[in-house]
């Protein structure tokens, strides 16, 4: 607001919902995230844009490469609209080893009013979990069945803790 000497006025909303259900030793994990930003000006400050792709959002993509991209570097530039859907089945394998099968979908849109479920990007994959007393170490392989120019079809991620 101008009263606080700001030069950009916008509204930004981010909602997330997670649900976990156990079926014996199998855990079905769900995640849904959506975001909308409505700037008054023609541009949204980069730090306030939504980005997706990577080990904790859409695992079939490299970090922050879903949605609008720089035409030269193919790096994500973010946008005003976001949807991320995660579905994952987690199961024990042996002692402290566990596995996961997952589906991740979503996209980032330049303008929030362009959001459409028909534009979602879909990925799926497998994961290995190693459960130590201090936390989980995660190895995930994400597959993008429909890569666009500059995108890998298979992406490997390493992380600490569950993806969501």
pLDDT in tens, 86-98: 999 999 999 999 9
pLDDT in tens, 30-74: 999 999 998 865 677 888 899 999 999 999 999 999 999 988 887
Write down the pTM of the prediction.
0.90
Give the pLDDT confidence score for residue 105 in this predicted structure.
Answer: 98
Cα separation of 145 and 60, whole Å? 9
Cα separation of 105 and 25, whole Å? 25
The CA distances from residue 16 to 25, 28, 41, 90, in Å, are: 26, 17, 26, 20
- Structure tokens that stand for 56 in this block: 């904790």
Q: Is the pLDDT of residue 2 over 70?
A: no
């Amino acid at each position: 607001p101008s009263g606080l000497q700001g030069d950009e006025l916008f509204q930004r909303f981010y909602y997330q919902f997670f649900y976990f259900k156990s079926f014996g030793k199998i855990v079905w994990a769900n995640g849904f995230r959506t975001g909308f930003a409505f700037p008054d000006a023609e541009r949204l400050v980069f730090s306030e844009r939504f980005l997706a792709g990577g080990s904790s959002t859409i695992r079939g993509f490299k970090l922050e490469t879903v949605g609008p991209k720089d035409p030269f570097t193919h790096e994500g530039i973010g946008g005003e609209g976001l949807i991320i859907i995660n579905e994952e089945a987690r199961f024990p394998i042996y002692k402290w080893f566990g596995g996961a099968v997952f589906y991740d979908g979503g996209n980032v849109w330049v303008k929030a009013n362009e959001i459409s479920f028909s534009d979602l990007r879909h990925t799926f994959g497998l994961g290995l979990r190693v459960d130590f007393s201090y936390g989980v170490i995660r190895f995930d392989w994400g597959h993008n069945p429909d890569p666009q120019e500059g995108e890998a079809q298979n992406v490997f991620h390493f992380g600490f803790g569950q993806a969501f």
